[in-house]
Amino acid sequence: MTNKYMYFVANWKMYGNLSSLNTLDKVIKFSKSKEIKGGRLIYCPPDTLISSFATKFENCQIGIGGQNCHESKDYGAHTGYVNCRMLKNIGAHFVIIGHSENREKGENDKLINLKIKSALEAKLKVIFCIGETLSEKRKKKTYSILSKQIKIGLNNIKNKSNIFLAYEPVWAIGSGIIPKSNDLLKTVEFIKSKFIGKIPKVLYGGSVNPQNINNLKKINNIDGFLIGGASQNTNKFIDIVKKTYS
Ligand code: PEP
């Protein structure tokens, strides 16, 4: 059993609409109960729902985040995008940056660095995703890829106190496969070793579900979980939190 303060981030990806708000009553009740122990819940719905989530979560401690942002802190002619000031303005406290689904579409480490800087300037906390692909893992490049993503992604950012890292091996996302416990322990240790002074919190993401959480929770250097598919089902999300603390 853990008593650690853990973060549980729900990444809803491009799912959800106004009727999804009804599913949150259960999680709001849970967040106010003693069962939550030392956990902090954070929901990252699509941008279209952030404002409604903010209203819904008004009287509870559940955090809200965006799933991506434009790199510019200024308003401008960028059709189809929102920046971090806009996310903050509608009630977000966090933003996910560097998710592999966006890296796959061409986001590189330099762009991610600009996005992180603009998020910090807008006073959002950043959930900075890093992780290797299957072919990089097979070539034993995991640590060098993570080092590069961290080095460039956090270039010229002195104060890292509002940054969480989310280690998400690309091959584990949505696949039902998770890393071996010992590999994960060592990789999280490696990520933390890249920092001096205050070490950022490191979350794990990739196919977390109510079945594998019993193993994942034993990896004691993990500070929380970034949960995609399973978080869209309130019962599963709550179950993951409960099992972490049982
Ligand atoms: C994610 O997309 O960040 C993620 C972890 O997804 P899943 O839990 O579905 O693997």
- Per-residue model confidence as pLDDT tens digits over 201-218: 999 999 999 999 999 999
Query: Does the beta carbon of 227 lie inside 6 Å of ligand 1?
Result: yes
Mutation probe of ligand 1 site: the residue of 7, 11, 129 with most atoms within 8 A of C-beta: 11
pLDDT at 3: 75
Secondary structure of residue 70 in the 3-state scheme: coil
Query: Which residues are catalytic, by number?
Result: 99, 168
Average the pLDDT over 175-200 and give the result: 97
* pLDDT tens per residue across span 147-173: 999 999 999 999 999 999 999 999 999
Query: Does the beta carbon of 10 lie inside 6 Å of ligand 1?
Result: no
Amino acid making up residue 85? R
Q: Give me the residue spans of the domains in the chain.
A: 6-245
Q: How confident is the model at residue 39 (pLDDT cuts 50, 70, 90)?
A: confident
Could you give the percent of the chain with pLDDT greater than 90? 96
pLDDT at 65: 98
Q: Report CA-CA distances (Å) from 68 to 102, 103, 179, 201, 209.
A: 8, 11, 25, 20, 23
Q: What is the pTM of this model?
A: 0.97
* pLDDT tens per residue across span 99-110: 999 999 999 999
Distance CA 90, CA 110 (A): 27
Distance from residue 99's CA to the centre of ligand 1 (Å)? 10
Architecture of domain 6-245: Alpha-Beta Barrel (3.20)
The protein residue with its alpha carbon nearest to ligand 1, atom 2, reads 228
